[in-house]
Amino acid sequence: MEKIHNFTVLIERDEDGYYVGSVPSLKGCHSQGKTIEELLKNIKEAIELCLEVEKEIPKEEFVGVQQVKITV
């Protein structure tokens, strides 16, 4: 029986307008898309590929995202 796993995806928009997503719990797991929908399709494929090489699925506890403003 297959088990469903949830992964946190951090999404940013780059300077060219593409959405870039990364999965912090899976080292090197990231993808991009022109739209959020395209990004989500692509990141699901990236997660599946990353899980093929992972020895075990990491447990993840999402704590939150915080923006920090600094002046330079």
| pLDDT greater than 80 at residue 55 | no
pLDDT digits (tens, 9 = 90+) for 18-52: 999 999 999 899 999 999 999 999 999 999 999 99
All structural domains of the chain, each given as residue ranges with its CATH number in brackets, are: 10-53 (3.30.160.250)
- Collapse the DSSP code of 42 into the 3-class scheme (helix H, G, I; strand E, B; otherwise coil) and give the result: helix
Model pTM? 0.82
Rg (CA), the chain: 14
Task: Report the chain's mean pLDDT, rounded to a whole number.
Answer: 92
